[in-house]
Amino acid sequence: MLKSETSPKHIPESVVFDFDIYGDDRLTDDLHASYETLHRDAPDVFWTPRNGGHWMITRYEDIMDVVRDPEHFSVREMQIPRVEDPPLFIPLSLDPPDNIPYRQALMPFFAPKTVRAMEPKIRQFAIEMIEAVEKRGECDFVDDISSQFPVSVFMELMGMPLERLREFRTQADAFFESRSDEDIAANFGKIVAIMTELIETRRAEPKDDLISKMTQFEINGRPISLGELQSICSILFLGGMDTVTNVSSYLFRHLAGDAALQDRLSEEPEKIKDFIEEGLRSFGVVNTPRLVTKDFERFGVPFRQGDMVLCMLPLGGRDDRKTKDPNKFDIDREKIDHVTFSSGPHLCLGHTLARLEMRILTEEWLKRIPSFRLKPGTMAHSRVGTVMALEQLPLEWSV
């Protein structure tokens, strides 16, 4: 592991702020609001000596600047702390123009028209999972719903066996919890092995699913290689297994504590789209790293080649310079600004699908369970780091 116990010489003392993304004492059960205190307590762009030492970018406009500037901020390495042999995630780990052929090949499968055609199946998944808990009067929303519903949709799209859902979820969690070179390599290797098995199966017996179609991709006029397929499938695996699960968990935690909002959404289902967008602004879960490619200055600080930078995408949605009263959840905002899906050359390909999944889940849940609440004594423990996750969410309702 590459380590830095003290700040490098090029870091001014005025921008050093001690913060541990993997377990800072400032982080509370209200994870997103506690992160937002950085806007008041820390410089907009600061260096923390923790986890090998890295920059943190906390403001909306500065985050947009970084994620849209691959010349200075590369995606070649995306682990904090840095590791000796970082995983390659195509197209996520490729700077433009190298990422473009892969994104172009994948885009049709996540286009709005394609996603709309998936709605009946997505709605069926949501109904089945909600009805499985409806008469119980309680559930752990994370375990019973949010860790299964979007993952089932993703697995159906990819052509992955649904009976292995729990196995795959466990493996995704293990990767996101990895810290050492050895654990990252081991868990990434297990994901590659899973995807290689599925790729080889689909090469032998193609079906009408994304893995089968990816085996037929041509990249720059040549057939896609096994290594490229393994890399693409691995990042799709991690994104499909985790992101929507995590955002929807935090969103329903908020909804469980607001009976008036539950009533309003039940009476005005057309506002659910705004509810989802405000949820994406308030409860983003991905913090995206970058590697500095050359020495230069920006935001009044000196960046040096090899520095790691972490863009706090959830904090972009909580920036009071961009959003008035950012800690207030308000579905009636005239404009909802956030960078939860990033921006520029690495805008999340699955953002349309993610929005549809969360809208359908909310619609079908409120049809069947219009009034619900947090189970008394609930503690909201979160996994923190580059991808944040609510670990459990016990809910209850009258039957």
- Asked whether residue 119 is domain-assigned, the answer is yes
Mean confidence (pLDDT) of the chain: 94
Which pLDDT score is estimated for 117?
A: 96
- Asked whether residue 335 is domain-assigned, the answer is yes
pLDDT for 82 beyond 80? yes
Q: Average the pLDDT over each of 9-23, 26-40, 149-163, 330-344 and give the range with the smallest value.
A: 149-163
- Asked whether residue 260 is domain-assigned, the answer is yes
Which pLDDT score is estimated for 3?
A: 37
- Asked whether residue 4 is domain-assigned, the answer is no
- Asked whether residue 2 is domain-assigned, the answer is no
Which pLDDT score is estimated for 4?
A: 42
Per residue in 287-330, pLDDT tens? 999 999 999 999 999 999 999 999 999 999 999 999 999 999 99
Q: Average the pLDDT over each of 75-84, 180-189, 193-202, 292-301 and give the range with the smallest value.
A: 180-189
Q: How many whole angstroms separate alpha carbon 375 and alpha carbon 26?
A: 25
Say how many domains are in the chain: 1
Q: Which residues have CB under 8 Å from 113's CB, separation 6+?
A: none
Residue in the structure block whose two tokens are 């899973």 = 194
- Asked whether residue 37 is domain-assigned, the answer is yes
User: Where residue 237 falls among pLDDT bands split at 50, 70, 90?
Assistant: confident
Cβ(28)–Cβ(110) under 8 Å? Answer: no
The stretch 41-50 carries a mean pLDDT of 97
Residue 30: CATH number of its domain = 1.10.630.10
pLDDT for 139 beyond 90? yes
The pTM of this model reads: 0.93
The residue segments making up the domain with residue 219 are: 13-396
- Asked whether residue 377 is domain-assigned, the answer is yes
- Asked whether residue 80 is domain-assigned, the answer is yes
The stretch 227-256 carries a mean pLDDT of 92
Helix (DSSP H) and strand (DSSP E) numbers for the chain: 15, 14
